[in-house]
Amino acid sequence: MLEKQIIKNLANELYTAQKTCTPIEAITDRYPQITIEEAYEVQLEVLKLKEADGIHVIGKKIGLTNKAIRDQIGVQEPDYGIITSEGLLLDGDFLYMDNFIAPRIETEIAFILSKDITKDIYPVKPTDIIEATYGIAPALEIVDSRVKDWKIKIQDTVSDAASYGAVVLGNRITKLKGLDLRLIGMAAYLNGELVQNGSSAAVMGNPINSMVWLANKLLNLGMEMKKGEIIISGSLTPVFDIKAGDTVNVIFDHLGSVSLAIR
């Protein structure tokens, strides 16, 4: 077990790395005994440091929703990160590379919640997620690792808010009624050229399934999803790289599009 002071020290390292855009050596290289549970403790300590600086929670992200990737790295379930206000961007905004270390893009469907999801309905079912969802929106997640060269294991990324960097929300919210979330297709364009295409079925068969997983995971840990939060439910495609001067535009069936300019 890691001492509490080591957990606090690691949190300070990660937050300093984010603020200075200076990566750190992998936590798992220095503390190979760190557990996933301890990594989540580090994540929460980073959040406390952010909140002390006036940054606030805007939602959660779900990672590792692809079973093949989980099998590849030897973990049995997805992971999650707390997403915070310093990374919120809107459709068409600029992303400044100087504010990140090694950013990459994932395509996501974001859920916007209209009510809290509490222990009163545990275990959470798909119908509970549907009832608690105001609507969904196209989104981009900018993933970034505060660990040098993306040389990470599961404990590294969990400590680092599941490699959350920023989230870009599309400007259209669509109600769930009448949608089959297994069948939302998308196409991602980089500088006008198709670079990725995929389907929402890549997210645990249906993004609602990843939402159910997260809700129950949080409740098991004494945490909740809150009204008004943005939950990015898992990537429809592999990540792709970006550089200054690029433009990204992703079009989703039924949901509209979301774009970003890289500077």
- Beta strand 164-169 with 79-84: parallel, antiparallel or unpaired? unpaired
The answer to whether residues 111 and 208 touch, using CB atoms and an 8 Å cutoff, is no
Q: What is the DSSP letter of 117?
A: B
Q: Rounded mean pLDDT of 31-51? A: 97
The answer to whether residues 233 and 64 touch, using CB atoms and an 8 Å cutoff, is no
CA distances from 202 to 143, 194, 255 (A): 18, 18, 17
- pLDDT > 80? residue 69: no
Q: Rounded mean pLDDT of 144-173? A: 96
Count of other CB atoms within 10 angstroms of residue 175: 10
Q: What is the pLDDT of residue 68?
A: 72
Domains plus CATH for the chain?
A: 4-262 (3.90.850.10)
3-class state of residue 195 by DSSP: strand
Residues 64, 74: Cα–Cα separation, whole Å: 11
Q: What is the pLDDT of residue 67?
A: 81
Q: What is the DSSP letter of 122?
A: P
